[in-house]
Amino acid sequence: MGIFRAVAALSKLRSRLAQQSTSLGSVRWLQIQSASDLDLRSQLEELIPEQQECLKKLKTDYGKVQLGNITADMGFDLGVIYSRMSKLLPAVNPGGQPLPEGLLWLLLTGKVPSKEQVDALSKELSSRSSIPDHVYKAIDALPLSAHPMTQFTTGVMALQVQSEFQKAYENGISKAKFWEPTYEDSLNLIAQVPVVASYIYRRTYKNGQVVAANKSLDYGANFSHMLGFDDPQMLELMRLYLTIHSDHEGGNVSAHTAHLVASALSDPYLSFGAALNGLAGPLHGLANQEVLLWIKSVVEECGENITTEHLKDYVWKTLKSGKVVPGFGHEY
């Protein structure tokens, strides 16, 4: 009977966050009662101790209970299960794409935020987005021929010197409070990443003509703006892009690497930097680039009127050369 109680307890813990904010038929929007309700950190200050205590009790009561046998199927990444809830997130326009800030709130709290909470988080991220000059100097020290991912990792590593977690750990901090400087680092990094990424894009492909941030825009729209794309449809596309690319759970190279490096108590900058290095591989994130080059090579060799037979022959040619067909599960 112990195993059934343990499984029930684990299931309850897993579903608890979802149950706090929504039912399948309706959304229970949170009522804004004070300024603290608009602050993500304040929400976590209430949730995290409760979850820590719950996990402690689970470990004490059921830590020695064997849950069952592990099969190979269990190792495959099935993706996270927030898709139905993500459709309930606030948007700029009714029926529009969800705001990525809302997804961040949902993933951290398990609650579907109100538009007011999302707007407050947008402003907070904007306030954290300043980039020290040494970061730009570190990136500019690289040749323009350096791959954008190499430049990106360099920028993130240059940001690492401001890590709050590293400072807190060196000064002595209790394990129960690890989440606080981790939260600060994570939000700072999330806020700064679009600025660094857009700088690298403009440096590499637009003759270094940097576009200044527009702090009146939301997170996704501002990123699109800094890249140089201001069409309203592009702003919506960027919001969608950032939202759906958060569906990565822990099975892929970059997510797994971030978890692994963080398990050594490396701060979020170091962990994210390691994840970027994994993402840069051609069997993972670089497949986004490689698939475009592969399709271009197909057209160059076979012409624009490609038949099924042409494509079949070219796929076999690619595989027999020892390469993969990129973009189709990355590894096939």
Per residue of the chain (332 residues), give pLDDT as tens. 444 344 444 445 445 544 444 443 344 444 445 667 888 999 888 888 888 888 888 888 888 887 777 776 655 554 445 556 667 899 998 889 999 999 999 888 888 999 999 999 999 999 999 999 999 999 999 999 999 999 999 999 999 999 999 999 999 999 999 999 999 999 999 999 999 999 999 999 999 999 999 999 999 999 999 999 999 999 999 999 998 877 665 568 888 899 999 999 999 999 999 999 998 887 788 877 888 888 898 899 888 888 899 889 999 998 899 888 887 655 44
Cα-based distances in Å from 288 to 69, 252, 324: 36, 15, 13
What is the model's pTM? 0.75
Non-local (6+) Cβ contacts of 202 within 8 A are 208, 209, 210, 211, 226, 227, 228
CA–CA gap between residue 209 and residue 202 (Å, rounded): 6
Place of tokens 């807190």: 168
* CATH 1.10.580.10 residue spans of the chain: 130-212+248-279
Its CATH class, for the domain covering 130-212+248-279, is mainly alpha
